[in-house]
Amino acid sequence: MTETTRKGDRIAKLLARAGVASRREVERMIADGRIAIDGKVLETPNTVLEHLRGVTVDGKPVTKPEPTRLFAFHKPSGLITAERDPKGRATIYDALRNALPKSAPRVMPIGRLDYNTEGLLLLTNDGEFKRMLELPANSVERTYRARAHGSVTQEQLESLIEGITIDGVHYGRIDANLERRTGANQWIELTITEGKNREVRRVLEHLGLEVNRLVRTAFGPVTLGDLGRGQAVEIKKQDIGRFRSSVKQVRD
């Protein structure tokens, strides 16, 4: 019987939905022998299940998935978007200990912000929701404000609407507008939908600009607003529902 005709989902998807970890991280956990079913260590992430009864992670039973929760965090620059850093640098989780309410579950960042990038970072306990928002094919908009040294024209920025290829990497549609000039610096607003690694910085550097400050101001319908640096706020349940329904999903 093929996977498409069997009932259930791959275990990585179920564990992600339960908030254990992202699908990719679950696959690493399986490779490390940390996940078992009825006491037998799981050897492949291709296992299809209808439920998580009998599944353990590090010897502990997987609990029933909690309702999806979503938090907006104003990440300051100088923090790594990871649980730990081999170089010993501070991570977002160091700041989140004091920023999140005590009732908050284990949360995972939706996408990443570079060490020197600040602004809106979304966090959730739902691995499937996280994956849905991260998939480039789902075209969830992210908006940034960049302060960059150098000169650029609005015409150059408007050419990015068709996408651009840099060093063999193609970046899709970018809606960019010159906000204002402050001396030798330009403030530019950019909206992207792919979120590739260092996308905004690389595109602006390709135009001859040197980015010296980068702030993410929106992710989908969630905006940074007046949320203070290092602070977090929970998104209302009804707003999560509207966010989810607004995403035009593709199958993955």
Q: Give the residue numbers annotated as catalytic, written as ranges.
A: 114
Query: Measured between alpha carbons, how far is 157 from 190 in angstroms, rounded to an integer?
Result: 9
- From the list 245, 20, 18, 217, the residue with the least C-alpha distance to 133 is 245
| Secondary structure of residue 157 in the 3-state scheme | helix
Query: Measured between alpha carbons, how far is 132 from 113 in angstroms, rounded to an integer?
Result: 18
H or E segment and range at residue 33: none
DSSP string for residues in 205-249? HHTT-EEEEEEEEEETTEE-TTPPTT-EEEPPHHHHHHHHHHS--
Supply the DSSP symbol for 8.
Answer: S
Supply the DSSP symbol for 111.
Answer: S
Cα-based angle 112, 118, 207 (whole degrees, multiple of 5)? 85
Tokens representing 204? 């602006």
Query: Measured between alpha carbons, how far is 204 from 206 in angstroms, rounded to an integer?
Result: 5
Please give the backbone phi and psi of residue 163, each rounded to the nearest 5 degrees, phi first: 90, 170
231 with 99: CB under 8 angstroms?
A: yes
Amino acid occupying residue 25: E
